[in-house]
Chains A and B, each alone.
Chain A
Amino acid sequence: MPHRPHSARGGSAGRRARSSRELEFRALLDAAVDAIVVIDHEGTIEDFSRAAEQLFGYEAAEVVGRNVRDLMPEPYRSQHDGYMHRHLRTGERRIIGIGREVVALRKDGREFPCDLAVGQVRGSDPPRFVGFIRDITQRKHAEEELRRSESELRLAQELANLGNYVAGGDGGGDYVSPQLCRILQLHPDQQRITREDYLDRWVHPADRERFEEAFARMDSGTAPLDVEYRIVLADGAVRHLHHLAQAVFGPGGQLVKHVGTIHDITDRRRVEDEARALQERLTHFSRLSTMGEMAAGLAHEINQPLSAIATYAQACQRLIRLPEPALEDVVDALEQINAQALRAGEVIRRLRTFVKNREVRREPVDCTRLLEDLRMLADTDARLHNIRLRIDSDVGLPTVYADPIQLQQVVLNLVRNAIDAMAEVPEERREVLLSSRKASEDEVEIVVADHGTGLAPEATEHLFNPFFTTKASGTGLGLAISRSIVRAHGGRLWHTPNAECGARFHFTLPVSPAVTTGE
């Protein structure tokens, strides 16, 4: 039992009897922001501060004299007596002077997390204890939030295979995110890598120069870092990284730190590479199928010179056997035989170049020449359908930077479409006009115009979709591939209705960079 009367605040009799010392204590108790609860050696509450009243929802008078267990939820409630007895018996301190995070119970039954610090009142016997309780609901909340956003960030980094880091200029404040450690196969404890280390141990030797240039630009403050390079891991694996970083400068202009992200784009690169390879196979396939469609016309194109050669040769035999051999005619005929043999060879050479599966390469291309070259391949087809093929090129066009074979493929495909579009129109209307002109300072435009049946509105919607075709034997790849080729060259491909009738397909290509800029 308490050896002193309870000092319950609000108790009118006790208050007057208190010493000034006790009043000071009381004032101190009530002024404290933390809730303060004083208990005796058996856990009976002796004092309950104003903040405690607010925190627990009890009036002091309600709880003074009750056991402090009542302020605790299970399992603390049943264990508390045991704790106290052990302390009294052994003097072992589990909480006194240490403080810990516990859960407390409000009058309304709600639990809340709190920091509890306990002090033993010196010189009192039996001992008394003072508990300081601070509500940490908000802090816990914030901590929870932080933990969640950290784990979300980690997950996001894992998913994106993207890591971030902070590299302090003074050597302090370095941070390497877990995902970045994984990307670099770095031990999570190693939180500091110097740029020299990084360059030597990771960056692919062929990319080092580029890497250093990019960093130099960032350090000088001219541009944030944005560079793609390869790294070589310890096991020899090569990864592609996209590195973004920014230098942070202090008020005096001194470099404080770098913050950056490193994105492992190896998989994306692989997908892109595969897509490109697929595109090239498709492009090749489309060229072959274009060739297949043109086979009849091409057979004719080769048959013409062969036929002329045969006839010339037979004429020569007869001319020589004449009583007075017409030798001049024979010489002319032999010249022609030679020329026609070369002509047949040329057709075959162009075909082979066109059909061959090959590396894409860019070179300055003269559009006027390109169209003229193409006339031979396209003319065959046009003749077959009794279609006139007209070329109208502006003189003095700048060259474009392109792959000539791919460009031929685009034009040939558009011409074939134009020819097909005119199958049903009267003979006098059948003309395809190929024109090239300077569209602007840095673009050349090529137009293939027909006088065919034009494009149905419902067709224009899907025109460029792969496998969309209005032809019985079409693959539906021609326009899709043409557009992707033009786009890969940095140009655009579109269509407009022709003024009188039919359709016009336009595409642009950027002109070659001026020679003076070097290359």
Chain B
Amino acid sequence: MIKEQKPTVFVVDDDSAVRDSLRLLLKSVGLPVEVFESGQEFLDAERDDRPGCLVLDIRMPGMSGLELQVKLNERHSILPIIFITGHGDVPMAVEAMQAGAVDFIQKPFRDQDLLDRINQALEKDAGSRRMLAERNMIRKRLESLTPREREVLDLVVAGKANKVIAGDLNLSQRTVEIHRARVMEKMEAHSLAHLVRMVLEVEHPEA
């Protein structure tokens, strides 16, 4: 569940000077920072899916930044990635953006540019986490419904009137009304519209 955790900036760069200077910069603005010298080291670290963002060097020996991104995507990581690129790395940066990176920044960079991007990434991460938490909550509520209540819910979301639902399910209209009230209560829905939105959110997230 959601814990009030301070987001951390994770830095992965094989160049110790670049890594260390980033650590110091982030420290100077009071952001918690953890540094890693390779993609593998980052993957191996126990992070417990902590909130934050990843500042990642695109070009590294062994596992490159792009390869780490692919591995994180496979693990369904939502951690936003800001790529650090050298000049001439534009094609790689494009590839990274297509794979879902939030941003990239070219070395050497103005500190404020990087910090702005980090803040945006952290906001995005917080937003994503809020949304995920909400979806989890909705799923829990859906799981609390009885099979009959679930049937009624699906027909309600499909826009059918109580009378039609009663006919479809071979129930009395009164019984349908009772189930419907139970669903609204369990789902903590303020209105029919709210109920529909919650169901669509978890079952058809693209809608």
- Whether A329 touches B61, Cβ cut-off 8 Å, given contacts A303-B107, A311-B18, A314-B111, is no
Q: Is the CB of A329 within 8 A of B62?
A: no
Q: Is A120 an interface residue (CB 8 A)?
A: no
Cα distance A312–B15 in the bound complex, in angstroms: 14
**What residues of chain A lie closer than 8 Å to B111, measured between beta carbons?**
311, 314-315, 318
| Interface residue ranges of B93-110 to A (CB < 8 Å) | 107-110
B residues less than 8 Å from A223 (CB atoms): none
CB distance from A293 to the nearest CB of B (A): 13
- Given known A299-B88, A312-B21, A336-B21, contact A387–B61 (CB-CB < 8 A): yes
**Chain A interface mostly:** helix
CB of B59 within 8 Å of the partner chain: yes
| Interface check A439, CB cutoff 8 A | no
- Asked if A32 CB lies within 8 Å of chain B CBs, one says no
CB within 8 Å of A: which B14-30 residues: 15, 17-18, 20-22, 24-25, 27-29
For the complex, is B202 an interface residue (Cβ under 8 Å from A)?
no
The distance from the CB of B55 to the nearest CB of chain A, in whole angstroms, is: 11
A300 in contact (CB, < 8 A): yes
Categorize the interface residue count of chain A: 20 to 34
Residue of B20, B28, B60, B61 near A318 (CB, 8 A) is B28
- What separation, in Å, do the CA atoms of A340 and B21 have in the docked complex? 11
Do the beta carbons of B108 and A318 come within 8 Å of each other?
A: no
Distance in Å from the Cβ of A324 to the closest Cβ of chain B? 12
The closest CB in chain A to the CB of B66 belongs to: A386
Q: Does B86 contact A (CB under 8 A)?
A: yes
A314 touches B61 (CB 8 A): no
Are the CB atoms of B109 and A310 closer together than 8 Å? yes
Give the residues in chain A near B86, CB-CB below 8 Å: 299-300, 303-304
* Given A307-B107, A314-B111, A315-B111, CB of A382 within 8 Å of CB of B61: yes
Instruction: Kindly list 16 other residue pairs between chains A and B, CB separation below 8 angstroms, not including A318-B111, A336-B20.
Output: A306-B107, A307-B18, A308-B15, A308-B17, A311-B108, A314-B25, A314-B110, A314-B111, A319-B24, A329-B24, A336-B21, A340-B17, A383-B60, A386-B61, A388-B61, A427-B67
Some 11 contacts from A to B, beta carbons below 8 A apart, are: A311-B22, A312-B24, A315-B25, A315-B27, A315-B111, A319-B28, A333-B21, A340-B17, A384-B59, A386-B60, A386-B61
